[in-house]
Amino acid sequence: MAIKLFVVDDHPIFIDGILGLLKDTPDFEIMGTANNGQEFLDKIKNNQPDIVLMDINMPIMDGIQATIELKTKFPKVKVIALTMFNDIRFIKEMLEIGAKGYVLKNILKDELIKAILTVAEGKPFLDSAVQEKVISSMSSSDDEDIDDKETDEMVQNITSRELEILQLIALGLTSQDISQKLFISKNTVETHRKNLLAKLNVKNTASLLKFAYKKGLV
């Protein structure tokens, strides 16, 4: 049985390139594409792929948030991050939230096929450049740690409404879900989300939730 694939990327020309690479591979069936995480989640509500090739930096909903929501709703779907970001922070975050693979967009066709087949078997796959980055990070100190006093001050700056929204984000609700639940506009939710990122000095939803769990906020 062919492995059902879904490709999520905000650049149609890149999606076309991936489809061109994989269309003649009998082991794979391309069941769909999307230009952002929200579109992807909407499209797979009734029919899930086996594996999704997920970009990270996308509008509306990025690949990190999409992966978080995907693993909550459809945990059996496997994620391979297919991205231009060879940054240890992104690598760690994607793996921590459930991605089974992480490969760069300059990957060769044979390596991409190997990555998909490996992940389909339930095994993790990192391309060679990503492996080097991970090994290098293991031998260096973690300079992202912030002392407890500073983080406590950050937490004190969070309003009760922001904390309420943070807890709903942790439950896997989208901005639209939260707006309906709290009877506020989606734009207001997005503003609170941005304020949380700024106040806690984190760059995306995955880091936000990691911080929140560490400090017992959710």
Q: What is the CATH number of the domain that holds 47?
A: 3.40.50.2300
199 is a domain residue: yes
Domain hosting residue 7, numbered range: 3-138
86 is a domain residue: yes
CATH number at residue 195: 1.10.10.10
pLDDT-above-70 percentage for the chain: 94
Do residues 134 and 164 both lie within one domain? no
Do residues 22 and 99 both lie within one domain? yes
pLDDT in tens, 131-166: 887 777 665 544 444 456 667 778 888 999 999 999
Do residues 199 and 118 both lie within one domain? no
87 is a domain residue: yes
| Residue 5 φ then ψ, to 5° | -115, 150
pLDDT greater than 80 at residue 72: yes
Do residues 19 and 114 both lie within one domain? yes
53 is a domain residue: yes
Please state whether 216 falls in left (phi above 0), alpha (psi between -120 and 50) or beta. left
Do residues 85 and 154 both lie within one domain? no
- What does the block give as tokens for 189? 């939710």
198 or 113, higher pLDDT: 113
112 is a domain residue: yes
Residues 6+ apart with CB under 8 A from 22: 5, 28, 30, 112, 113
Residues 6+ apart with CB under 8 A from 189: 165, 175, 178, 179, 182
Residue labelled with tokens 């060879």: 86
Q: What dihedral do alpha carbons 109, 111, 115, 117 form, nearest 10°?
A: 70
Do residues 43 and 108 both lie within one domain? yes
Mean pLDDT of the chain: 88
Do residues 109 and 208 both lie within one domain? no
Q: What is the DSSP letter of 1?
A: -
Do residues 161 and 187 both lie within one domain? yes
C-alpha–C-alpha distance, residues 71 and 21, integer Å: 27
Do residues 125 and 190 both lie within one domain? no
Do residues 115 and 192 both lie within one domain? no
- Local confidence band at 128 (pLDDT 50, 70, 90 cut-offs): confident
200 is a domain residue: yes
- The structural domain count of the chain equals 2
143 is a domain residue: no
Over its C-alpha atoms, the chain yields an Rg (Å, rounded) of: 18
Q: How high is the pLDDT of residue 67?
A: 95
Domain boundary among 71, 103, 138: 138
Domain boundary among 105, 138, 171: 138
C-alpha–C-alpha distance, residues 90 and 86, integer Å: 8
Do residues 27 and 122 both lie within one domain? yes
Do residues 59 and 122 both lie within one domain? yes
Domain boundary among 119, 138, 157: 138
